[in-house]
Amino acid sequence: MNGKEWRQMMKIVVLDGYALNPGDLSWKGFEEFGEVIVYDRTSFTDKKEIIERIGDAEAILTNKTPIDEEVLAAVPQLKYIGVVATGYNVVDIEAARKRNIPVTNIPAYGTAAVAQFTLALLLEIVNQVGVHNDSVHQGDWQRSVDFTYQKTPLMELQNKTLGLIGYGEIAQATAAIAHAFNMKVIYWNHRPKEPQASWAQQVSIEELYRQADIISLHVPQTAETQEMINQETIHQMKDGVVLLNTARGGLLDEAAVAEALNKGKIIGAGVDVVSKEPMADNNPLLKAKNCIITPHIAWRPLETRERLMGIAVDNFAAFIAGEEQNVVNKRD
């Protein structure tokens, strides 16, 4: 069957399109290949709803809606699964492989945005721009007898040591920005990896915990990395360390991090991800001291989402052409 025939009959269902496209992008790239049905959100837990919405579609796109063995068994006509994110743990890729269904993802689309956001969290922690802006708007400067004042301690980044846990593209982009601030850069990776420049140094994880003034997480969430930041590892860190997480919420034992923040072992944390999203009311980080929390937005600049959409369309176009692009469950 050629590409033209595919386009005439393809039915594509987007299960949870709102996160990628809240209305400022277009699905037109996929409409070139057939009928596109877009749902803003689909239940993460109601498999009946997931199966009903897939219906007789031959291709689906998902961000966070889980596609497991049970779902796949109920939609035997399915031929393609596109994950519109880098992480693809929402799909049972082995079950898909058994059915000859390629699963694609979107690698490296948000490198610049996430690195930028990581430094934004750090700058907010050390400069406290938001706190002082609020203070001025509340009248504190107008009532001040001095031309300047500060509400919190402030910190200079020059000569501070940034420790990167993980050394992929986002970590290296973060390192380059940190270097521009005249910070020292050390990193740990699960396997040895050449530094991007002479100013970056690979160290053991234990040495990183001992040396780093700021620790930033850039690893996937796996069985090995789950809650890797816990009471034991926090104890190895410098007193007054800053912690940043723009990777995955499950990397933190959130109760241990909250305790360390409240005791001052960690003087500030910036997190864009938490263990359960949307965030639970009882998440201990909500009441922890000096913890900046943002709602998983590091990847959300318009330019970044445009890039993501473009890669998603290209992945699908390659599939239609009988080629493979960003397939994560290739047959051996």
Residues catalogued as catalytic:
248, 277, 296
Report whether 35 contacts 12 (CB < 8 A): yes
Backbone angles phi, psi at 70, to 5 degrees: -60, -45
Question: How far is it, in rounded angstroms, from Cα 300 to Cα 187?
Answer: 26
Cβ atoms < 10 Å from Cβ of 331: 7
Question: Residue 124's closest CA among 293, 251, 300, 263?
Answer: 293
Dihedral-angle region of residue 23 (phi above 0 means left; psi in -120 to 50 means alpha; beta otherwise)? left
> Residue 59: enclosing H or E segment and its boundaries?
strand 59-62
Question: Residue 207's closest CA among 223, 227, 226, 184?
Answer: 184
The alpha helices in 244-301, defined as continuous H runs, are 254-263
Question: How far is it, in rounded angstroms, from Cα 15 to Cα 57?
Answer: 11
For residue 299, give both structure tokens: 């990847």
- In angstroms, the Cα distances linking 233 to 82, 88, 271 are 37, 28, 18
- In angstroms, the Cα distances linking 250 to 33, 42, 56, 217, 246 are 37, 23, 35, 11, 11
